[in-house]
Amino acid sequence: MNSSLKLRITLLFSVVFLAFESHAQTNKLVVNTESGNVQINKHIYGHFAEHLGRNIYGGIWVGPDSDVPNEDGYRKDVMQALIDLEIPNLRWPGGCFADEYHWTDGIGDPNDRPKMVNTNWGGVTEDNSFGTHEFLNFTKKINTVPYITGNVGSGSVEEMSKWIEYINFDGESPMADLRRKNGQEDPWDIEYWGVGNESWGCGGHMTPEYYANEYRRYATYARDYGGNKLYKIAGGANNWDLNWTEVLMKNIPLQMMDGLSLHYYTVTGTWEEKGAATKFTKEEYLETLNKAAVMDDLIAKHSQIMDKYDPEKKVGLIIDEWGTWFKVEEGTNPGFLYQQNTMRDAHVAAITLNIFNKHAERVHMANLAQTVNVLQAIILTNENDMILTPTYHVFDLYKPHKDAILLDHFLSSEKVAFGKQSAEALHVSTSKSEDGTVNISIANIHPDKKVSLDIDLLGKEFKTVSGEIVTASSVDTYNTFEKKDAVKKASFSDFKLNKNILKVDAPANSVLMIRVK
């Protein structure tokens, strides 16, 4: 009997054993450490910076004349935090803003750039001082990959086509010459290109049939230049709109589309009466996490439709907007979507990233909404001060999963319940890095109970183990400008390894990354 078959049989026994044991509320994880062939695309760990509130202006860009320490107009502290996090990509300029953005307003001498009204976000005046050059040079400075969303809602095919020529064409042409005149000799050779955003809503209120036709037209003139191949992303569905996915998959030839997007926000309460970011009951806490966990089923349902038209899974599902959406903080502009970020957000991030890993075969990219000062931000700023949120620390903790091979596992977890809400206490993801290290991320969402987890590592014998943790005294703990490190990443060692058996004591309200070698 070959070793892989042996492992599969052992796993099967383990499943039966777990099914039996789950009645006894034993917490057990079985990991097949030699199972995987799907790579977790690092782009799943991507981010999103829209011209919204204090995300770009004040968050990333302060301009070269600002008193806030900056390098060529970019905040130094934010830049460093993003470099440290090794963010794989950054989506820009929106969001809803993208379908009202005319790129030619954001090039050339900043003093000559026309202003516009940001009608989607607070009705403030946008001075276009942060445009194509400022964005693409920023992505270079922070070593990340740009993902630009073009304007389908209020722009033209010609406008989008010329933007791509401006950015990517190496030879002599009106657009490439204009780029050179504006100070950029070489093309940026960008790959990721979104054809509109939320075309069912703020991007033009289109029907899926109408958008599918529009996509075909816009995508035709979104040209490849030189050796650079664009990865074209069609504007996808709003959470459960399965019909949108069906119509697009049916009507857009597969060779015209590399990715199809999906947006899902975790809202506590209702859209009209959203819950607060920092004040919540334990029942509301579980409601939030259960709503985040819906992502699993959501991806499965959209994938099922995609599988019908694309069984080889060539088209990536791109979840380019996800995260928590709470009531704005008191006293802030409601159009700026500024919210605090607690350990509850850390658990939402952990649960969601575990789910994305699980669906790595279909999910090729994802973008948390958003980067600085907006929605589930990883960074908050105040004049020239900055804090990292619990969500930032979870992305930091999860670094080993990027580009690792997804491993099969089976989990049996005890439950946690408050009021009408109940959920499994443990949420995990397992992967293997290139050097053979097995990565196990574990969220213990129980607010007040340590959970002991027995882990069977099927496969070779393991010798060393290390751990890191993000935790705090309560699920509503958050970092403030006065207390910046109430939640931070720390090392963790409450585990015992004996060959293939690992015991981990996951503290209440914690997210862990355990690495065995």
Q: From residue 293 to residue 322, what is the string marking binding to ligand AHR with x (rule CB under 6 A)?
A: ----------------------------x-
Cβ at position 235, least distance to ligand AHR in Å: 9
Query: What's the CA gap between 290 and 315, in Å, rounded?
Result: 28
Cβ at position 275, least distance to ligand AHR in Å: 17
Query: What's the CA gap between 253 and 244, in Å, rounded?
Result: 15
The yes-or-no answer on residue 198 being catalytic is yes
Binding piece for ligand AHR, criterion CB under 6 A, among 72-80, 92-100, 154-162, 442-450: 92-100
Active-site hit among 100, 321, 424, 468: 321
Cβ at position 325, least distance to ligand AHR in Å: 8
424 binds ligand AHR (CB under 6 A): no
Q: Which of 426, 387, 481 is nearest to 18 (CA)?
A: 426
Cβ at position 116, least distance to ligand AHR in Å: 16
The residue (of 97 and 188) whose beta carbon lies closer to ligand AHR is 97
198 binds ligand AHR (CB under 6 A): yes
Query: What's the CA gap between 432 and 35, in Å, rounded?
Result: 10
Size of residue set near ligand AHR by CB under 6 A: 10
Binding piece for ligand AHR, criterion CB under 6 A, among 88-96, 248-256, 276-284, 459-467: 88-96
Estimate to the nearest angstrom the gap between the alpha carbon of 385 and the chain centroid. 25
Cβ at position 162, least distance to ligand AHR in Å: 24
The yes-or-no answer on residue 34 being catalytic is no
59 binds ligand AHR (CB under 6 A): no
95 binds ligand AHR (CB under 6 A): yes
Cβ at position 266, least distance to ligand AHR in Å: 12
The residue (of 198 and 456) whose beta carbon lies closer to ligand AHR is 198
Cβ at position 140, least distance to ligand AHR in Å: 24
Q: Are strands 28-32 and 451-458 parallel, antiparallel or unpaired?
A: parallel
Sign of the Cα pseudo-torsion (271, 277, 279, 284, in order):
positive
Active-site hit among 198, 284, 287, 468: 198
Helix (H, G, I), strand (E, B) or coil at 208: helix
Cβ at position 97, least distance to ligand AHR in Å: 6
Interface pick for ligand AHR out of 53, 94, 204, 459 (rule CB under 6 A): 94
Interface pick for ligand AHR out of 60, 90, 96, 372 (rule CB under 6 A): 96
The residue (of 259 and 467) whose beta carbon lies closer to ligand AHR is 259
Footprint on residues 136-165 left by ligand AHR (CB under 6 A): none
The set of residues, in sequence order, having a beta carbon less than 8 Å from that of 409 and lying 6+ positions away, is 29, 30, 31, 32, 428, 430
Cβ at position 148, least distance to ligand AHR in Å: 14
261 binds ligand AHR (CB under 6 A): no
Beta carbons of 102 and 151 less than 8 angstroms apart? yes
Beta carbons of 163 and 105 less than 8 angstroms apart? no
Binding piece for ligand AHR, criterion CB under 6 A, among 249-257, 369-377, 467-475, 502-510: 369-377
The set of residues, in sequence order, having a beta carbon less than 8 Å from that of 57 and lying 6+ positions away, is 51, 130
Query: What's the CA gap between 20 and 14, in Å, rounded?
Result: 10
Q: What is the 3-state secondary structure (H, E, C) of 324-363?
A: ECCCCCCCCCHHHCCCCCEHHHHHHHHHHHHHHHHCCCCE
Amino acid identity, residue 92? W
Binding piece for ligand AHR, criterion CB under 6 A, among 93-101, 185-193, 300-308, 478-486: 93-101
Question: Torsion-angle region of residue 280: left (phi > 0), alpha (psi -120 to 50) or beta?
Answer: beta
Residue nearest to ligand AHR (CB): 95
Footprint on residues 452-511 left by ligand AHR (CB under 6 A): none
The residue (of 340 and 441) whose beta carbon lies closer to ligand AHR is 340
Cα 4 to Cα 37, 105, 297, 313, 516: the distances in Å are: 13, 59, 29, 25, 20
Beta carbons of 478 and 392 less than 8 angstroms apart? no
Query: What's the CA gap between 313 and 334, in Å, rounded?
Result: 40
Query: What's the CA gap between 238 and 452, in Å, rounded?
Result: 38
Interface pick for ligand AHR out of 27, 31, 42, 50 (rule CB under 6 A): 50
Q: What is the DSSP letter of 386?
A: E
Helices (H), 221-294: 242-251, 282-293
Query: What's the CA gap between 98 and 182, in Å, rounded?
Result: 22
Interface pick for ligand AHR out of 197, 339, 373, 381 (rule CB under 6 A): 197
The residue (of 375 and 425) whose beta carbon lies closer to ligand AHR is 375
The residue (of 30 and 369) whose beta carbon lies closer to ligand AHR is 369
Binding piece for ligand AHR, criterion CB under 6 A, among 90-98, 158-166, 217-225, 437-445: 90-98
Interface pick for ligand AHR out of 230, 369, 405, 453 (rule CB under 6 A): 369
First to last CA, the chain: 26
List, by residue number, the catalytic residues.
Answer: 198, 321
> Where on the chain is the footprint of ligand AHR (CB under 6 A)?
50, 94-96, 197-198, 321, 369-370, 375
